[in-house]
Amino acid sequence: MTDSELINSIRLLHTEGIGCITFYKLINKFGSATKSLEYLSNSKKINIFSKSLAEQEVEKASTLNVKILSYNSTEYPKVLKQIPDAPPILYVKGNISALQNKSVALVGSRNASINSKSLTQLFAKELADYGYTIVSGMAIGIDTYAHIGALSSDKLTNQKTIAVLAGGVDVIYPISNNNLYDKIISEGAVISEMMLGTMPQANLFPKRNRIISGLSYGTVVMEASIKSGSLITARCALEQNREVFAVPNFPRDPRAGGTNMLIKNGANLVETSQDIISILDNFTEDSFNKEETFFELKEDNIPYLPKDEDDFDSLNLQEKILSLLDTTAINIDILLRELTDYKQEQIFDALLNLELDDKISYSSTGKIMLKL
């Protein structure tokens, strides 16, 4: 990717109303961020992210020794790219090689018990000794001990652990993990999808959890209450077709409610690190591809802009789509069955325009609904 395309990718991603899924739809449609921006600037009343701010972002990253990886970079982690909402832009501080190694996530409660902290540290070291990179979120509690355990291994010099931050990679949070942050950069990597300088906010933590699970062959929940954010990570792992593991705990301890519930619902019960290794060793980085979904369009089925407007009335199709929708999400297949007079690529084209016009939205499972 050229510098100009990287800058335009940053601009496209941070343009008003453009998220990860819409970003990829536009890339599929127009072939590049540059051409996507040209379309938006000519056809839509959208506030496009400033070119000068994007250029400043690239310059700041260079100054801070932060690598910016685009979705099509050869250094972008292949296993993360397989999730549908993979970050189009990834910031990396530390050793990029850590992103290519097979990984396992260890997550859990911030208010962790002494036994769970100790067990997390042990599992992390043993898994790192075996050759896995340990992924976590650098929060206090289980996350911290996962990173500490991985760093105690002598196995992988520069691939021991990856910390996925909710804020920018240059923002240390919590500040009490300042020394740990430096060690992770030295013997692993700190990554984020957020722009440099972004302060952690409550709504960003669930979003970053999909990256923790998406980087990993499996997610191990060491200790978690029923309301723990770690269960969000476990749910993300399931949606991404990854393995979920949980450590059983004393049933009267409220910090055990989440892990015990996961086991009841079919998560792999873990007593030793070998329980994790024995399952994950059966997978490769190509093991987690899902069947094609509505937004993953094959090359021969990319939506297009009609050359002759008289041949196809896109606005009429958009109105028909809106008439079939309400605030209850429906599957794309229902629309396809109701709109048999149109080509599939025409329907996808109309859906993209409706999304850009902020008239429809998608649920986390890809279903479509009217946006109020």
pLDDT, position 105: 98
CA distance from start to end of the chain:
38
Distance of CA 32 to the CA centre of its chain: 21
Which residues of the chain form beta strands (DSSP E)?
A: 67-70, 89-94, 103-107, 133-136, 161-164, 188-192, 218-221, 243-246, 268-269, 360-362, 368-370
pLDDT, position 365: 67
Q: Domains in the chain, ordered, with CATH?
A: 3-63 (no CATH), 94-280 (3.40.50.450), 303-370 (1.10.10.10)
Residues of the chain with pLDDT under 70: 1, 43-44, 289-312, 364-365
Partners of 107 in the beta sheet? 221
Partners of 89 in the beta sheet? 70
pLDDT, position 293: 34
pTM for this one?
Answer: 0.82
Q: Does residue 187 contact residue 74 with C-beta atoms inside 8 Å? A: no
Residue by residue, DSSP assigns 312-368 as --HHHHHHHHHHT--SS-B-HHHHHHHTTTS-HHHHHHHHHHHHHTTSEEE-TTS-E
pLDDT, position 267: 95
- Round to whole Å and give the CA distance between 261 and 167: 30
Express each pLDDT in 270-308 by its tens digit: 999 999 999 999 888 877 765 433 333 233 332 323 333
String of b and e for 340-349 (b: at least 16 CB within 10 Å)? eebeeebbbb
Express each pLDDT in 164-178 by its tens digit: 999 999 999 999 999
pLDDT, position 208: 95
- Round to whole Å and give the CA distance between 337 and 341: 10
